[in-house]
Amino acid sequence: METLKKAELCFPQLFNTSCKKHKRPQSESMIIYTLLSSISLLTVSLNLLVIISISHFRQLHTPTNLLLLSLAVSDFLVGLIVMPFQILLLEPCWFLGDLVCVLYHLITFITVCASVVNMLLISVDRYVAICDPLRYSAKITAKTVRICVLLCWIYSVFYSCLFLPDNLKQPGKYNSCYGECVISVNVALDIVFGFLIPISSIIILYMRVFVVAVSQARSMRSHIAAVKLQRSKTVTVKKSELKAARTLGVVVAVFLMCYCPSYCVSFSGYDIVMGSSVNLFIFFLVYFNSCLNPVIYAFFYPWFRKCVRLLLTLHILLPNSCEVNVL
C-alpha cells in the first residue's frame, strides 16, 4: 500500500510535500500531444517562411511588411518555446524547477503582449494608409516603423516583468506542493492594459478603416466619381491599399476571435482548473492564432506564395536572389 501511494506522487522521496499525480487516459493524452506537437511544428515552419521571405527580398521591405515581420517573430517564438512547454504543463508533474516555470510564463507573456501591440501597430498603419493617404508616406516610414517595433518589444518585456514581480523575486512562492508550476498574476491589470485598452483601440481604428474603405470602394465603382478622379490630382486610396486593409482586417478579426475567450473568462471571474478541458481549449485557441496568421498570408498574398516557391526550390541561394521581383 505504501509503494502504491509513493507511485502516485511526483516526488516519492518527499512524501509529505510532493504533489500527487492525476493522469489522463492514455488515448486522450496521445491525441492532445500529437495535435499540439503538430501545431507547434507547423507554427514554427510557416512563420519561419514569413521571416525569411520579408527579410531576404528587398521588394518586401515596406513599413507594413516590417510590422508583419515583427508579428511573425512573436508567432515563431510561440511555436518554438511556448507551445512545447505548454505540452509539458499538461503532465501532472513539473520537473524543470521553479525558475524555469517562471521564465516560461515570462516568455509567454512577452510574446502574447508583443502580438497584441503588433496588432495595434498594424491597425494604426492601415488607419493612416486608408484615412490619410496623402501623408502616409511621410508619416509611416521604414525608420519610424523600426523604432515602433523596437519600442513594442521593449514595452512587452517591461510590462511582463511588472506583471510577474513576486514570481520573479521568489520562484515557486505560490506552489502548494513540489511538482507544481503555479504563478500569481494581477488579473485586473492584465484585463485593462493587456486587453481592454489595446483591443478597444484596434476595434475603433478598424471600424473607421472599414467605413472609409467602403466609401472609397463605392466611389471607385461610380463612373462619375471615376471621371472626377481622372480630372483631379487628388490622391485617393489605392486599390492595393484597400486589399491590404481587407487582408489585415482578416488577420485582426481572427486574432480577436482567438484571444477574446481567454480574457472573457478572466473578466467573468470563472475559476479555471489547471489542466482542465476548458483551460486546454483556451490556451489552444490563443496559440493556434500564431499558426493561422501565415496561412492567411498564403491565402491572400500572392507574394508570399511566390516567396515560398523560391525558398522551397532553393532559388534563394542564387546570386542576387534578394533582387527578384516577387510582387
In-domain check, residue 73: yes
pLDDT of residue 5: 45
Q: How many CB atoms lie within 10 A of CB 79?
A: 23
The x, y and z cell numbers of residue 106, run together, are 515570462
pLDDT in tens, 265-315: 665 554 444 455 566 777 778 778 888 888 887 677 788 888 888 888 888
Q: Is residue 120 in a domain?
A: yes
Q: What is the structure's pLDDT at 48? A: 92
Determine the pLDDT at residue 41.
92
CATH number for the domain spanning 144: value is 1.20.1070.10
What φ, ψ does residue 9 adopt, rounded to 5°?
-100, 150
210 within some domain: yes
Judged on CB neighbours under 10 Å (0-12, 13-18, 19+), 16 is exposed
* Domain assignment of residue 19, yes or no: no
Predicted local confidence at residue 239, as pLDDT? 58
Residues 6+ apart with CB under 8 A from 236: 133, 216, 219, 229
Q: Return the closest-CA partner of residue 38 out of 74, 73, 79.
A: 79
For the chain, the three-class secondary structure string (H helix, E strand, C coil) is CHHHHHHCECCCCCCCCECECCCCCHHHHHHHHHHHHHHHHHHHHHHHHHHHHHHHCHHHCCHHHHHHHHHHHHHHHHHHHHHHHHHHHCCCCCCCCHHHHHHHHHHHHHHHHHHHHHHHHHHHHHHHHHHCHHHHHHHCCHHHHHHHHHHHHHHHHHHHHHHCHHHHHCCCCCCCCECCCCCCCCHHHHHHHHHHHHHHHHHHHHHHHHHHHHHHHHHHHCHHHHHHHHHCCCCCCCHHHHHHHHHHHHHHHHHHHHHHHHHHHHHHCCCCCCCCHHHHHHHHHHHHHHHHHHHHHHHHCHHHHHHHHHHHCCHHHCCCHHHCCCC
Radius of gyration of the chain (CA): 23
- Model pLDDT for residues 101-128, shown as the tens digit of each residue: 888 888 988 998 898 899 889 888 888 8
Tell me the residue range of the domain where 295 lies: 27-323
Which whole-number Å values give the CA distances from 96 to 91, 99, 161, in the listed order? 12, 8, 21
Counting as low any pLDDT under 50, the low residues of the chain are 1-6, 223, 229, 231-236, 270-274
In whole angstroms, give the CA distance from residue 161 to residue 173.
16
Is 9 part of a structural domain of the chain? no
| Three-state SS sequence of 162-193 | HHCHHHHHCCCCCCCCECCCCCCCCHHHHHHH
Task: State the total domains in the chain.
Answer: 1
C-alpha cell, 167 = 514570481
Contact 266, 190 (CB under 8 A): yes
For the chain, the first-to-last Cα distance in angstroms comes to 70
Q: How many residues does the chain have?
A: 327
**How many whole angstroms separate alpha carbon 93 and alpha carbon 216?**
57
pLDDT at 154: 94
Q: Is 2 domain-assigned? A: no
